[in-house]
Structure 1
Amino acid sequence: MTIEFPEPTRVAVNGVELEVFEAGRQNAGNPVVLCHGWPEHAFSWRYQVPALAAAGYHVIVPNQRGYGNSSRPADVTAYDITHLSGDLVALLDHYGYEDATFVGHDWGAFVVWGLALLHPDRVNGVVALSVPYQERGETPWIEAMEAGLGGDFYFVHFNRQPGVADAVFAENPFRFLRNLYRKNLPPVAPQPGNALINLARMETPPGEPVMSDSELAVFVSAFASTGFTGGINWYRNLDRNWRLLADVDPVIRQPTLMIYGDRDPVARAERLTTFVPNVDVVSLDCGHWIQQEKPQETTEVILTWLDQRSSTP
Structure 2
Amino acid sequence: MTADARHDRVRLGDLTFDVTVTGPDDGVPIVALHGFPESAASWRPITPRLVRAGFRVIAPNQRGYSPGARPEAVEDYRFDHLVADVVGLLDAYDLDSAHLVGHDWGAAVAWQVAGRHPERIRSLTAVSVPHAAAFGWALRNDADQQRRSGYMRQFRTESNSEAVLLEENSRRLRAVFGDGNDPDLVEEHVRLLSEPGALTAAMNWYRALVHEFGDLPPVRVPTTYVWSTADPAIGPACAERCSDFVDAPYRFVVLEGGSHWIPEENADALADAILARAAQS
Judge same fold: TM > 0.5, yes or no. yes
Does the CA contact (< 8 Å) of 2:64 and 2:202 recur in 1? yes
Could you tell me which of 207, 212, 221 is aligned with 1:243?
212
Distance 1:216 1:273 in 2: 32
Could you tell me which of 30, 33, 47 is aligned with 1:35?
33
Structure 1 residues 4 and 169: CA distance shift in structure 2, 3 A:
farther
Residue by residue over 1:191-211, the C-alpha shift from the partner in whole angstroms, topping out at 9 and shown as x without a partner, is xxxxxxxxxxxxxxxxx3411
Equivalent positions of 1:82-93 (< 5 A) are 82-93=80-91
Q: Does 1:168 align with 2:139?
A: no
Structure 1 residues 173 and 21: CA distance shift in structure 2, 3 A:
farther
Report the equivalent of 1:218.
188
Does the CA contact (< 8 Å) of 1:166 and 1:228 recur in 2? yes
Moved over 4 A (4+): 136-139, 143-146
Does the CA contact (< 8 Å) of 1:178 and 1:209 recur in 2? no
Does the CA contact (< 8 Å) of 2:78 and 2:209 recur in 1? yes
Instruction: State the Cα distance separating 1:51 from its structure 2 match.
Output: 1.8
Distance 2:61 2:135 in 1: 30
Report the equivalent of 1:254.
221
Report the equivalent of 1:201.
none
| Counterpart residue type for residue 100 of structure 1 | A
Does the CA contact (< 8 Å) of 2:231 and 2:260 recur in 1? yes
Distance 1:274 1:35 in 2: 23
Q: Who wins on radius of gyration, i.e. which is larger? A: 1
Structure 1 residues 5 and 216: CA distance shift in structure 2, 3 A:
farther
Instruction: State the Cα distance separating 1:122 from its structure 2 match.
Output: 1.4
Q: Does 1:234 align with 2:205?
A: yes
How high is the sequence identity, in percent, across the aligned residues? 33
Does the CA contact (< 8 Å) of 1:24 and 1:57 recur in 2? yes
Distance 2:52 2:86 in 1: 23
Report the equivalent of 1:102.
100
Does the CA contact (< 8 Å) of 1:24 and 1:59 recur in 2? yes
Report the equivalent of 1:6.
5
Q: Does 1:281 align with 2:277?
A: no
| Counterpart residue type for residue 242 of structure 2 | L
Does the CA contact (< 8 Å) of 2:125 and 2:277 recur in 1? no
Give TM-score, length-normalised by structure 1: 0.79
Equivalent positions of 1:24-173 (< 5 A) are 24-28=23-27, 30-135=28-133, 149=146, 153-161=150-158, 163-172=159-168
Does the CA contact (< 8 Å) of 1:173 and 1:223 recur in 2? no
Report the equivalent of 1:185.
none
Structure 1 residues 287 and 275: CA distance shift in structure 2, 3 A:
same
Distance 2:13 2:169 in 1: 29
Distance 2:169 2:23 in 1: 33
Structure 1 residues 138 and 232: CA distance shift in structure 2, 3 A:
closer
Distance 2:84 2:45 in 1: 27
Give TM-score, length-normalised by structure 2: 0.87
Q: Does 1:293 align with 2:261?
A: no
- Equivalenced residue count is 272
Instruction: State the Cα distance separating 1:154 from its structure 2 match.
Output: 1.9
